[in-house]
Amino acid sequence: MSIPAHFEGAEDVAKLTTAPKRFPPRNGWYGSAAGTRSVSLDDSRALADSAWTITSRIAAGLILYTGLGWLLSLWIGHQALLMASGAMIGLTLSYVLIFGGLAKENKRYMDLTNGKSS
């Protein structure tokens, strides 16, 4: 068996058997910084609580005030009009509660972060 002319010895064998260089690992979606920060358990629970609060307020406002519109329509008449009006009033009041709660939560967060940096 003949050795090829370009073969120089153990150095060439090391070059041929080493694995190629890997690219640096990417974080997040398409290399964004999405996966670089971790969220504390308290923050993730607060976010989940906030989502459930928003969902339940919208559902409760819609159901409660649509039901009140239906009950009022049994007494007065005009079922479609009063149920639609009740639904709109319920959604409006739900959004007022939601945005008021979010503003209060944002103020509390800003007070906490400003207190830590001082």
pLDDT at res. 50: 85
15-19, 33-37, 42-46: least confidently modelled range: 33-37
pLDDT at res. 27: 58
Q: What is the DSSP letter of 23?
A: P
Distance of alpha carbon 86 from the chain centroid: 30
Q: Looking up tokens 């005030």, which residue turns up? A: 65
pLDDT at res. 85: 95
Q: Looking up tokens 């639609």, which residue turns up? A: 84
Residue 10 and residue 62: Cα distance in Å, rounded? 78
Residue 55 and residue 94: Cα distance in Å, rounded? 10
Q: What is the mean pLDDT of the chain?
A: 79
pLDDT for residue 100 is more than 80: yes
Residue 118 and residue 110: Cα distance in Å, rounded? 12
Q: What is the pLDDT of residues 39-83, one digit of tens each?
A: 677 777 877 888 899 999 999 999 999 999 999 999 998 899 999
pLDDT at res. 111: 86
Residue 106 CA: distances (Å) to CA of 28, 89, 116: 27, 26, 15
Instruction: Enumerate the domain spans of the chain.
Output: 43-118
Q: In terms of pTM, does the model score above 0.75?
A: no
Shortest CA distance to 88 belongs to which of 106, 53, 62? Answer: 62
